[in-house]
Amino acid sequence: MKLKSWRDIPIGGVIIAAGNAKQFKTGAWRTKKPITDKSKCTNCMRCVIFCPDAAITVKSESDLTDKEKAVFKAKTPVMLDRADYDICKGCGICAEECPVKAIEMVKE
Amino acid sequence: MSSTKKTSYRALSGAEAAAEAMRQINPEVVAVYPITPQTPIIETFARFVANGKVDTSLINAESEHSAMSAVVGASAAGVRAMTATSSQGLAYMAEVCYIASGLRLPIVMAVVNRALSAPLNIHGDQSDAMMLRDSGWIQLFSENAQEVYDNTLIALRLAENKKVLAPAMVMQDGFTTSHAVQNVLTLSDEKVKKFIGEYKPLYPLLDIRHPVTYGALDLFDYYFEHKRQQVEAMENALKVLKLIDREFFSVSGREYSFVEEYRLKDADIAIALMGATAGTAKTVVDKLRNKRIKAGLLKIRLFRPFPAEIIKRALSRVKKLAILDKAIAPGARAAIANEIRAIFAGEKNAPKIQDYIYGLGGRDIGPDDIGKVYKDLAKAKRIGELKKVRYIGLRARSSH
């Protein structure tokens, strides 16, 4: 991102536009990346609940491809999609909490 | 009580003068915690609140840290917010004082200067103000109750100016000014209302149609830039205060500048100091002038931003100068001495300077003490070459 001079930014460190947290890519902090083995995943959503950064997105059943439907074991209205690596800091809480050990932390 | 009449003399202590200015400003929020010798300010103001003389929400905080935090919150929300403190209270506020200035919130605070503990002391000296001299707050020092009143109104205008937006402390000396009743000319409520105008905050948090974030993390990529902006604000304050002082003169007939030059134009020997002791020094200068001794006084009103150029010009013809600090910096020069000496560093025609420390913990300083300073200046030949600072009224030996 291009950095601005002291003359071109609002005073006091005040952020004057809303909804700009999405511009802040905390994914760059990560040293380890969570990789989900979808053949083990039971779609229990524990990782979604525990993720402190809401980095794990879900898909509704109607959006699933036939291939995805075949892979997932459980039949629930929503299904685990993927980790958003722009946001995921690699804290490993998802891997720790996964009851079927489907998530592995892999070095970046 | 509340005067709607024309300008009139009132018998007010320095503390009451600060509270009267606050009543006329009528801030939306005042958050307070009592501490000697500031307490009469908030006592007087609390009475105004109880009697319905102001519309202010008075918050009785559980500490000065909380009082300043509440004022920061109110100011960020977009309203006028004020408080008052002294000494330990200011020390306890220090953390949040930097937040107020860093967030560029135009808070005005009455500070009644008192010595810092330990040893425990409740009396006046200026070490509390000097503790926060680099905090990004504007610092105005007052000689008497009249200046407390006037400086409070002026400080509000200065702090809220769009080119400045920095918080301001209005100083008065503990007990000497805060508890002494003097004649004070106050303006009518209408005049004050017109002078201070309506407050229009730049980024009010409560303006939900324009959402803003205050206090976000600001690391190595932007913190430096925001600090540079505070320097700019202080430089702007020098220009803006000049205009506000002029406007205040047209409203009140009372003329102020960054420093008061008292019989200084043709002075050979001079004293530079801040606060109530200026009043005593003026009477000494008058007596010396009657004896045809060319003595003068530089009273510093504006300490932050430091008006270096104005002070340099004011002292350029002085031959010998005594700088009197009512605060001590163990292991270094005291604050005013440091600043003034820096102005003249490397200058050929600089005045010869002698540093003095006086009045710590409320140690009295009278005309005789100040007379002795002028006497020392007059007879000294090798002044400035003296390494050591002098201490006024300090016992070098025990008395028997």
A80: pLDDT strictly greater than 70:
no
DSSP for residue B253: S
At B302 the three-state DSSP class reads strand
Q: Can you spell out the DSSP letters for B53-121? A: S---EEEE-SSHHHHHHHHHHHHHHTS-EEEEE-HHHHHHHHHHHHHHHHTT---EEEEEE-PPSSSP-
Closest-CA residue of B relative to A2 is: B221
Query: What does the pLDDT read at residue B383?
Result: 66
- Whether residue B154 is found in the same domain as residue B302: no
| Containing structural domain, residue A96 | 36-107
Cβ pair B257, B264 in contact under 8 A: no
pLDDT of residue B170: 98
The whole domain housing B87 covers 14-186+194-200+207-252
d(CA B278, CA B284): 10
Q: Kindly report the nearest CA distance between residue A69 and chain B, in angstroms.
A: 42
Residues of B with CB under 8 A from a CB of A: 102-105, 165, 202-203, 210-216, 218, 221-226, 228-229, 232-233
> pTM of this prediction?
0.89
Give B330 or A73, the one with higher predicted confidence. Answer: B330
Q: Can you give the pLDDT at residue B144?
A: 98
**Is B396 among the domain residues?**
no
pLDDT value, residue A36: 85
In the predicted structure, residue B373 carries a pLDDT above the cut 90: yes
Q: Say if CB B144 and CB B84 are below 8 A apart.
A: no
Complex prediction ipTM? 0.88
Kindly provide the residue ranges of all beta strands, DSSP E only, lying in B155-194, ordered along the sequence: 168-173, 181-186
pLDDT tens for residues B258-271?
999 999 999 999 99
Number of domains present in the structure of chain B? 2
Q: For chain A, what is the domain count? A: 1
Look at residue A54 and tell me if it is in a domain.
yes
Residue A11, domain member (yes or no): no
Tens of pLDDT along B40-49?
A: 999 999 999 9
The rounded mean pLDDT for chain A is 84
Interface residue of A4, A15, A22 to substitute, partner B, most B CBs within 10 Å:
A15
| Domain membership flag for residue A25 | no
Instruction: Tell if the CB–CB gap between B105 and A18 is shorter than 8 Å.
Output: no
Average pLDDT, chain B: 95
Backbone angles phi, psi at B227, to 5 degrees: -70, -35
Report the residue of chain A nearest B76, measured CA to CA. Answer: A14
Residue B26 confidence class, pLDDT cut points 50, 70, 90: very high
Mean pLDDT confidence for A65-85? 67
pLDDT at position B6, please?
56
Q: Which residues contact B24 (CB under 8 A, 6 or more apart)?
A: B153, B186, B187, B189, B192, B193
pLDDT in the model for residue B1: 46
Using an 8 Å CB-CB cutoff, list chain B residues near A14. 103-104, 203, 212-214
Give the pLDDT confidence score for residue A108 in this predicted structure.
87
A63 lies in a domain? yes
B94 lies in the same domain as B174: yes
| Same domain, yes or no: B49 and B155 | yes
What's the pLDDT score for residue A45? 85
Among the ranges given (A78-82, B202-206, B287-291, B348-352), the one the predictor scored with the smallest mean pLDDT = A78-82
Average pLDDT over residues B14-22: 98
At residue B3, the pLDDT reads: 47
Do B211 and B70 share a domain, yes or no? yes
Residue A14 lies in a domain: no
Q: What local confidence, expressed as pLDDT, does residue A72 receive?
A: 61
Mark whether B87 and B222 lie in a shared domain: yes
pLDDT band (50, 70, 90) for residue A39: confident
Q: Average pLDDT of B3-31?
A: 89
* B163 backbone dihedrals φ, ψ, rounded to 5°: -85, -10
- Mark whether B284 and B172 lie in a shared domain: no
pLDDT top residue among A69 and B19: B19
* Residues B14 and B148 sit within 8 Å (Cβ to Cβ): yes
Residue A13 lies in a domain: no
B144-199: pLDDT as tens digits: 999 999 999 999 999 999 999 999 999 999 999 999 999 999 999 999 999 999 99
* Chain A residues close to B203, C-beta within 8 Å: 10, 12, 14, 16
Please check whether residues B244 and B292 belong to one and the same domain.
Answer: no
Give the pLDDT score at B384.
57
The pLDDT assigned to B35 comes to: 98
Q: Is the pLDDT at B362 greater than 50, yes or no? A: yes
Q: Is A73 a residue whose pLDDT tops 60?
A: no
CATH of the domain at B345: 3.40.50.920
Contact, B263 vs B285, CB < 8 A?
yes
Read off the pLDDT of residues A7-38 as tens digits, 9 standing for 90 and up: 999 999 999 988 887 788 888 899 999 888 87
**CATH code of residue B35:** 3.40.50.970
Report pLDDT digits (tens) over B320-341.
999 999 999 999 999 999 999 9
B185 burial (CB, 10 Å; 0-12 / 13-18 / 19+) is middle
Same structural domain, B300 and B234: no
Same domain, B159 and B39: yes
Q: Which of B102, B211, B228 sits opposite A12 (nearest CB)?
A: B102
State residue A78's pLDDT score: 59
- Hey, which residues does B298 pair with through a beta bridge? B261, B272
